[in-house]
A and B are shown apart, each in its own frame.
Chain A
């Protein structure tokens, strides 16, 4: 068997565009799923009872479904629900955000629960209301505490974005598979794809480690 690596170079523009889409999907998903995760966690912790139940149901629903199923579900069901023909990228983003928000909500809930009651009391003794105590005292500490978990979610998400290739979002996995199908250069394209994912994923993991050390709070 002979290898022809030129196929990778030949399709570099498509691969670069696909990589850019993968990064965009990861960043956009987290940009949605971090604030939404905080909101869901707070609703689940402090909401009115029916709201709490709803938040819990949301988390348990999306956390326990295979992501690929959510992707397909978003592809077929979202257009019916919204009446809009959403482009694949937006559909994929919605599916990823729904899934990761559920995970982040659990992470934040654990983080908020880990902050001692005395911290809230100290904030309230100063005259803060509950929202101020959360915003100024509890959430900043919880965020720092759960950075390692958010970091591994981030790294998983970066790889899991490949699942939206099943609905033809032109990210790295989809583009690689297309080139493979056209050129029949299976091993070359799989290797190139692996190399790109790894080379991008590893520094991200390291960067997150660094952020974690930088912002760690010692008590």
Chain B
């Protein structure tokens, strides 16, 4: 039933495979959240995971950095199977940045301290070095002037940009975005998407769970459509959005009112 069609045109396919999902299975009790997912993410690619709520997109993302353990199949990161051992897993996590739907900034720390926290605590940078790095990352997301603000004083869009800066401060090889704009007011979605677009243009490898079809279409290099824990179709955005090959993709997009 999976329509794992051979990739017709995949511009980054020559690049190294950064993440390989092979037959990934995840169960919660009797519920099968992922029922055998195959997907490749190449270096420099933006891979968008779309599909209805509860179809397994976020679960796959959370399995990628081991926040959830898989029950079957295999996830490879940079050529090595994702370790089960906590210590080895932590080393992998330092090379994957993650951005959450609900931001999850640390409310007791300023924007600068939030961004410097990873370099300080995990990479053991000294304070001056961590702060220099944090300042640069805040500037990159356009929030240099908010360094000393606490998260509660920032808008949702600003908080999410700080969260992106916090993930970038670890100098990750890949960025995982879990519905980064779903909790935002409509007027602040744009500022977050444009930061993400800029990252993509700089060549960052990104896996993005999103309901923003315009973003998936314009910025995505590869789109995977999820339904009930499986990928029902994957391909370049032109295929998914203009000439979907499966009824399920067409159904999903028409429910969203997607008109191309």
Which A residues are in CB contact (< 8 Å) with B151?
A: 219
A124 at the interface (CB under 8 A from B): yes
B2 at the interface (CB under 8 A from A): no
Please state if B67 and A121 are interface contacts (CB–CB under 8 Å). Answer: yes
Measured in the bound complex, the distance between the Cα atoms of B86 and A132 in whole Å is 13
A35 at the interface (CB under 8 A from B): no
Measured in the bound complex, the distance between the Cα atoms of B65 and A124 in whole Å is 9
Q: A118-B102, A121-B67, A121-B100 given as contacts; is B118 within 8 A of A126 (CB)?
A: yes
User: What is the distance, in angstroms, from B120's C-beta to the closest C-beta of chain A?
Assistant: 9
Which B residues are in CB contact (< 8 Å) with A126?
A: 93-94, 117-118, 121-122, 166-167, 170
Identify which of B91, B106, B121 contacts A122 (C-beta below 8 A).
B106
B106-127 interface with A by 8 A CB criterion: 106-108, 117-118, 121-122
A203 at the interface (CB under 8 A from B): no
Q: A118-B100, A129-B86 given as contacts; is B107 within 8 A of A141 (CB)?
A: yes
Identify which of A118, A121, A123, A140 contacts B108 (C-beta below 8 A).
A140
Which A residues are in CB contact (< 8 Å) with B104?
A: 116, 118-119, 121-122
Which A residues are in CB contact (< 8 Å) with B122?
A: 126-128, 132
Which B residues are in CB contact (< 8 Å) with A81?
A: none
A64-106 interface with B by 8 A CB criterion: none
- Interface core residue of A116, A127, A137, A218 (most chain B CB under 10 Å): A127
Please state if A125 and B98 are interface contacts (CB–CB under 8 Å). Answer: yes
Which B residues are in CB contact (< 8 Å) with A132?
A: 121-122
User: What is the distance, in angstroms, from A118's C-beta to the closest C-beta of chain B?
Assistant: 4
Q: Give the contact-size bracket for chain A.
A: 20 to 34
User: What is the distance, in angstroms, from B97's C-beta to the closest C-beta of chain A?
Assistant: 8
Q: A141-B108, A218-B152 given as contacts; is B67 within 8 A of A124 (CB)?
A: yes
Return the chain B residue nearest A219 by Cβ: B107
Residue-wise interface mask of A (177-219) relative to B, using a CB-CB cutoff of 8 A (1 in contact, 0 not): 0000000000000000000000000000000000000000111
Measured in the bound complex, the distance between the Cα atoms of B166 and A128 in whole Å is 13
A12 at the interface (CB under 8 A from B): no
- Interface core residue of B90, B100, B108 (most chain A CB under 10 Å): B108
Please state if B90 and A129 are interface contacts (CB–CB under 8 Å). Answer: yes
- Interface core residue of A116, A125, A137, A141 (most chain B CB under 10 Å): A125
Which A residues are in CB contact (< 8 Å) with B150?
A: 217-218
A144 at the interface (CB under 8 A from B): yes
Give the secondary structure class of A's interface.
Answer: helix
User: What is the distance, in angstroms, from B71's C-beta to the closest C-beta of chain A?
Assistant: 19
Residue-wise interface mask of B (144-155) relative to A, using a CB-CB cutoff of 8 A (1 in contact, 0 not): 000000111000
Known: A126-B118, A128-B122, A136-B117. 17 other contacts (CB 8 A): A119-B104, A121-B100, A123-B106, A124-B67, A124-B90, A125-B96, A125-B97, A125-B100, A126-B121, A129-B86, A129-B87, A129-B90, A141-B108, A217-B107, A217-B108, A217-B152, A218-B150
Identify which of A119, A127, A136, A144 contacts B90 (C-beta below 8 A).
A127
Please state if B93 and A124 are interface contacts (CB–CB under 8 Å). Answer: yes
Please state if B107 and A127 are interface contacts (CB–CB under 8 Å). Answer: no
6 residue pairs from A and B, CB less than 8 Å apart? A122-B104, A125-B97, A125-B167, A126-B122, A126-B166, A217-B150
Return the chain A residue nearest B105 by Cβ: A122
Which B residues are in CB contact (< 8 Å) with A141?
A: 106-108
Which 4 pairs across A and B sit closest by C-beta, in order of nearness? A127-B94, A122-B104, A125-B98, A218-B152
Identify which of A116, A127, A218, A219 contacts B118 (C-beta below 8 A).
A127
Please state if B108 and A127 are interface contacts (CB–CB under 8 Å). Answer: no
Please state if A127 and B170 are interface contacts (CB–CB under 8 Å). Answer: yes
Which A residues are in CB contact (< 8 Å) with B65?
A: 125
Measured in the bound complex, the distance between the Cα atoms of B66 and A126 in whole Å is 12
Identify which of B67, B93, B105, B106 contacts A127 (C-beta below 8 A).
B93
- Interface core residue of B93, B106, B152 (most chain A CB under 10 Å): B106
Please state if A218 and B107 are interface contacts (CB–CB under 8 Å). Answer: yes
Measured in the bound complex, the distance between the Cα atoms of B140 and A125 in whole Å is 21
User: What is the distance, in angstroms, from A27's C-beta to the closest C-beta of chain B?
Assistant: 25
Measured in the bound complex, the distance between the Cα atoms of B96 and A146 in whole Å is 34
User: What is the distance, in angstroms, from B175's C-beta to the closest C-beta of chain A?
Assistant: 11
Which A residues are in CB contact (< 8 Å) with B102?
A: 118
Measured in the bound complex, the distance between the Cα atoms of B151 and A185 in whole Å is 59
